[in-house]
Chain A
Amino acid sequence: MILLFNYLIFPGFLFSAFIGLMAAWVDRKITARIQWRVGPPWYQNFIDLIKLLGKETIVPQGSKITFLLAPFLGLLSLILVATILGVTIRSPLESFMGDLIVILYLLIIPAISIIIGASSSRNPLASIGASREIKLVLAYELPFILSVVTVIIKSAGTIQIGSIINHQINFGANIASWSGVIAFIVAILCMQAKLGFVPFDAAEAEQEIMAGTLIEYSGLPLAVFKLTKAILLYTMPLLLIGLFWAKDLSPFVLMGKYIALLVIIILMKNTNPRLRIDQVVRFFWGPVTLLGIIAVGLALLGK
């Protein structure tokens, strides 16, 4: 019963969806202010979702069941991540052994669900988007895991988020060291790519391949994908705070840290042009992976 409550309401679905949609609104509003516009009202994303629920759902020829179920696969696994993270941050002792590994795997599933959905729609532009999404996942996973390995080394080899947080509460935040700072920068870049925001949004380039992976989606499945994106915007910064910046996790401090990360994401989104997919792969496998390796080395030296 408590599990179900956790999953569906408090740190899980309803709460993370609400925070995520509000964060998506903050994103739209700040983007508008940077472009000297007024921007939408705060309830805009909720209205968009309600509207999409009322629209007709068109299913293209092709694999119908996969096409319709793919968005839910991504949403359900992402809610699980939000629940595990939320419960862990609320009380670090409630986490279980190895939940960091579980979260790393579950966080790839939304990208995989986008790939499955796009390729089952039989649209050529969607398949271009899917192939770009695959390359993007291959590109950012390596440095992201390197930065997580840095955190594991710093926290005395534990792979449990609860004890990583406890370690930081006792011995100072991971970000307060050279290896921690470098790994944090790497993780922020990977987070931007995971969210599919502007320097790394080649997979759904709206002007270029017409929303790419989402091109054939309409109505309810599109709403589910938008919701997944919004919840990812809540989950990823929270994960980074838990891994790197968890010295003080009282609600107001946590909120401040979350907003700081959100502002970094939005500013990065608004001040960069879109990279081509080969540039993205070269960027992540070149300089960013090098930074990750340096971070791991420094962590092994105890810096």
Chain B
Amino acid sequence: MMNLKLKALTKSLWVFHAACSPCNNCDIEILDVLTPRHDVERFGIILVGSIRHADVLLVTGVPNYKTKERLKRIYSQAPQPCLVVAVGNCACGRIMFKDSYNSPCAVDEVVPVSAYIPGCPPKPEAIIAGVVKLITKVRGKK
């Protein structure tokens, strides 16, 4: 039973995109993943409008004082099981904004991150590879 649930989860990941003040390059690459060339709807991955429908919370950018609170709240509103994916170098580990005056913490200090996809911005292929690794991780755990 648990296995079926998990399998269904990995075969239909609905993604909610939370932009924590990114520079928009990662967001463009994420949209590229949905275009005809890469088409992730083949694997059941679609973007949804509401966090209540989502299985994956996609975070881009470095959280600042305002988006940090929003990110925390969005994660608490998501129905479990909800996976978090950090896309881009900023979300993975703040890079050059590490000592910035308006950057209190990294994404993984606010919400538990399941997969990191580095790159500035990551290629669509890299994003798909990250999702594949996430799926194998989720399936392998249980």
Contacts and interface: CB of A to CB of B under 8 A. Distances in A.
**Chains A and B bind each other:** yes
Interface of A: 28, 32, 35-41, 44, 47-48, 50-51, 54-58, 206-207, 210-211, 214-219, 222
Contact of A222 (B43, B52, B80): B52
13 contacts: A32-B39, A32-B41, A37-B39, A37-B42, A39-B42, A40-B41, A48-B8, A51-B8, A55-B79, A57-B79, A58-B77, A210-B50, A211-B48
B81 interface: yes
Contacts of A41: 42
A55 B80 contact: yes
A239 B88 CA distance: 51
Given A54-B5, A55-B80, A58-B77, A215 B52 contact: yes
Interface string B71-87: 00000010111000000
A54 B77 CA distance: 17
B42 A50 contact: no
Contact of B42 (A36, A40, A210): A40
Contacts of A35: 36
B21 interface: no
B70 to A, nearest CB: 14
A56 B80 CA distance: 5
B85 to A, nearest CB: 17
A58 B79 CA distance: 6
A51 B48 CA distance: 15
Given A39-B41, A54-B5, A47 B79 contact: no
B119 interface: no
Contacts of B55: 51, 55
A270 B61 CA distance: 34
Contacts of B8: 47-48, 50-51, 54
Contact of B49 (A54, A215, A216, A219): A215
Given A32-B41, A217-B52, A47 B11 contact: yes
A44 B53 CA distance: 16
Contact of A50 (B4, B48, B80): B4
B5 A218 contact: no
Given A214-B53, A218-B53, A37 B41 contact: yes
A38 B39 contact: yes
A11 B81 CA distance: 35
B49 A211 contact: yes
A207 B48 CA distance: 9
Contacts of A38: 39, 41-42
Contacts of A58: 52, 77, 79
Nearest to A46: B8
B41 A211 contact: no
A56 B49 CA distance: 18
Contacts of B53: 211, 214, 217-218, 222
Interface string B23-51: 00000000000011001011110001110
Interface string B3-25: 01100110110000000000000
A79 B77 CA distance: 32
Interface in B83-111: none
A36 B44 CA distance: 16
A38 B80 CA distance: 30
A39 B8 CA distance: 17
B12 A55 contact: no
A93 B41 CA distance: 45
Nearest to A35: B36
A54 B52 CA distance: 14
A39 B49 CA distance: 20
Given A39-B41, A207-B49, A222-B53, A47 B12 contact: yes
A50 B42 CA distance: 18
Contacts of B81: 55-56
Residue of B42, B53, B55, B81 ringed by the most chain A CB atoms within 10 A: B53
